[in-house]
Amino acid sequence: MNEVITIGVDLAKNVFQVHGVDTDGAVIVCRQLRRAQMLPFFKKQPPCLVGMEACATAHHWARELIELGHQVKLMPPHYVKPYVKRNKNDAADAAAICEAVTRPTMRFVSVKSMEQQSVLMLHRTRELLVRQRTMLINAIRAHMAEFGIVAPGGVPQVKKLLSIIADKNDTRLPLIARTCLESLARQYLSLHEEIHAAEKHIHAWHRSNEASRRLETIPGIGPIIASALTASITDPEVFKNGRELAAWIGLVPRQNSTGGKQRLGKISKQGDQYLRWLLVAGAMSVIMHAKRRGSTNLPWLADIIARKPAKVAAVALANKNARIVWALLRQGGTYQKPGTVPAV
């Protein structure tokens, strides 16, 4: 009986599907495995190529199988889908993964370390807490507006509303309404503390990581963005150039070209949505600062600001920053600022 050289694994929570083939492509194994059976099964297999979709728990299983001596490659799920030959089921998915992982043109996802996943979990937790805090702020504003109490926009202005809620002598709020608002205010203050604690952990990791500190030298990139980029980009060598990294984040134009005619649309918005949002938000802060100051040290950005809306300029700067990030991660060094030119 020939040995298995390639195995495709369709991951799940409790029941996994494996599909293994030999050097001739003949199916050697096609079976389901319970979660407790995964590691014992792969311990019995000779070192081979294992393919998995880069989905939930994929990085954990990749690390486990690498320790057993296997070569593990993760693939974006939408790149595997074209290899499904029949109706979708676990067996068909595992077979498709097994075939896709051997393709020479397939693009793979680098396996993240436990530290990188922990940092990204910290970012996701902060993002969730910020969304919840925004929901509470909107609820407090809306409820108090029903009684004619309003405050200017922005998180800092919420303190004015909280002081009114805490003031028992303020008769503008009925007792029942005040009781409800006090509950929302307590939740808001608790979330505010949790967000502050998460940001302290992110800043601490950022200061301890040399690559993250170097990325902070780029305009529009602070500790939050730098740490997210460093934790997300496992290996810059995966990307041939800075444009590939920008495309991976979804900051390049969508193409619909045919017949020798190049048609470029809006940005693709494919890839890592969180990194894309961070880079664009950071770029927008740079543009707003340049407009207030009336000058910028980026000549090309000054030209775009003069001709295009601020959001278009922000996407262009985010794209540029993504390419600079690739260069710094791959070649080392820090960002060197050019001279200053007027911004219209």
Q: Environment class of residue 67 by beta-carbon count within 10 Å: exposed (0-12), middle (13-18) or buried (19+)?
A: exposed
Are 204 and 223 part of one and the same domain? no
Lookup result for tokens 């100051």: 293
Residue 256, pLDDT > 70, answer no
Any domain includes 272: yes
Residue where a domain stops, chosen among 175, 208, 241: 208
With a cut of 60, say whether residue 341 has pLDDT above it. no
Q: Is the pLDDT of residue 201 over 90?
A: yes
What pLDDT does 263 receive? 64
19: left (phi over 0), alpha (psi -120 to 50) or beta: beta
User: pTM of this prediction?
Assistant: 0.87
Residues in the chain: 344
Is 106 among the domain residues? Answer: no
In a domain, 22, yes or no: yes
Cα(240)–Cα(25) distance, integer angstroms: 31
Q: Write down which residue in 49, 74, 100 finishes a domain.
A: 100
173 within a domain of the structure (yes/no): yes
Structure confidence at residue 75 (pLDDT): 95
Q: How far is it, in rounded angstroms, from Cα 18 to Cα 50? A: 10
How many other C-beta atoms are found inside a 10 Å radius of the C-beta of residue 291? Answer: 15
Residues 236 and 280 in one domain: yes
What was the pLDDT predicted at 323?
95
Q: Do both 240 and 167 map to the same domain?
A: no
The DSSP element (H or E) to which 71 belongs, if any, is strand 71-75
CB 83 within 8 A of CB 76: no
CATH (domain of 23): 3.30.420.140
| Structural domain contains residue 126 | yes
* Chosen domain end from 67, 100, 133: 100
* Shared-domain flag, residues 223 and 202: no
What interhelical angle do 223-232 and 273-293 show, nearest 10?
A: 150
pLDDT at 317 over 70: yes
107 within domain boundaries: no
Residues 55 and 118 in one domain: no
Same domain, 231 and 187: no
Task: Look at the block and give the residue holding tokens 């690498």.
Answer: 66
Residue 272 belongs to domain spanning: 218-342
**What pLDDT score was predicted for residue 302?**
83
Same domain for 235 and 322, yes or no, is yes
Q: Is the pLDDT of residue 293 over 90?
A: no
> How confident is the model at residue 1, as a pLDDT?
58
The pLDDT of residue 265 is 63
Answer whether residue 71 is part of any domain: yes
Question: Which of the pair, 254 or 89, is modelled with greater confidence?
Answer: 89
Q: 118 and 186 in one domain? A: yes
Name the domain count of the chain.
3
Instruction: State the average pLDDT for the chain.
Output: 91
Query: Rg (Cα) of the chain, in Å, rounded?
Result: 25
